[in-house]
Amino acid sequence: MPGILTSPTLTREGFRHAFTTREAGDFATLRDPVRLRANQDELARAVGFDRARLFQTKQVHGRAVATAAGDPATLLREEADAIVGEAGSEAAVAVRVADCVPVLLVDRSTRRVAAVHAGWRGVEARIVPAAVERITPGAGDVRGVVAAIGPSIGPCCFEVGQDVAERIGHVVRRVGDKAFVDLRAAVRAQLVALGVDDGAVDDVAGCTRCEAERFFSYRREGDASGRLVGVVVAG
């Protein structure tokens, strides 16, 4: 399928997954339902999952982690910014982004997976560590964790106030009362601080704000922006 990107490490470990680009279409849940379903069907065929097993949530920039179970339509009303798929469930867990960081997590020992929506508020709330805790065996055992950090707004474009910059860190430059922050680096740093091997973290590059032909961007397009997805299947 045109318009999808993948992580070499997740592919090598045998986990079906994808990050979409603009070419794959708009995955916003509150727009044209017919077009949305067609885009989801095509993505399901390309990645290898049943669209009826596609689980998403109502994303609110928080720290709650949901579990993919029951009716996907019910889960879509639940407020959470990460979703866990249990091993063997064939649940496809997905997050929608238009500048925020999509993070796909898998654990090679438990075979659980998670999709995480990490904007700067989510990074500050430590949504990624919360999701890691849910997929691992426990007691801080992260030896089996592999992660893929997807396309998002880059440090070239992610301009914030100095107060936010101080809270998130990973400042690449300052201009007056503003700063440019590397959100993907902040996510990677949180993973490594947990004990995840830096070599087990893939960066699927792309700046959503810069690359208008490839990606949707809320900062560039405002409320008219479409949504990209990151999805991983619990096989």
Model pLDDT for residues 42-61, shown as the tens digit of each residue: 999 999 999 999 999 999 99
86 Cβ contact partners less than 8 Å away, ≥ 6 residues apart: 67, 68, 69, 112, 234
pLDDT digits (tens, 9 = 90+) for 84-102: 999 999 999 999 999 999 9
Residue 8 pLDDT grade (very low, low, confident, very high; cuts 50, 70, 90) = very high
CA–CA separation, 72 and 59 (whole Å):
14
Nearest CA to 80 out of 36, 49, 51, 115 is that of 115
**Residue 2, pLDDT above cutoff 90:** no
Nearest CA to 28 out of 80, 120, 98 is that of 98
pLDDT score for 14:
96
Residue 139 pLDDT grade (very low, low, confident, very high; cuts 50, 70, 90) = confident
Query: How large is the angle between the packed helices 183-194 and 127-135, nearest 10 degrees?
Result: 40
Domain spanning 4-151+197-233: CATH 2.160.10.10: no
Q: What are phi and psi of 150, to 5 degrees?
A: -90, 180
Nearest CA to 231 out of 89, 56, 67, 29 is that of 56
Break the chain into its structural domains and give their ranges.
Answer: 4-151+197-233
pLDDT digits (tens, 9 = 90+) for 142-192: 999 999 999 999 999 999 999 999 999 999 999 999 999 999 999 999 999
pLDDT score for 51:
97
- The mean pLDDT value of the chain amounts to 96
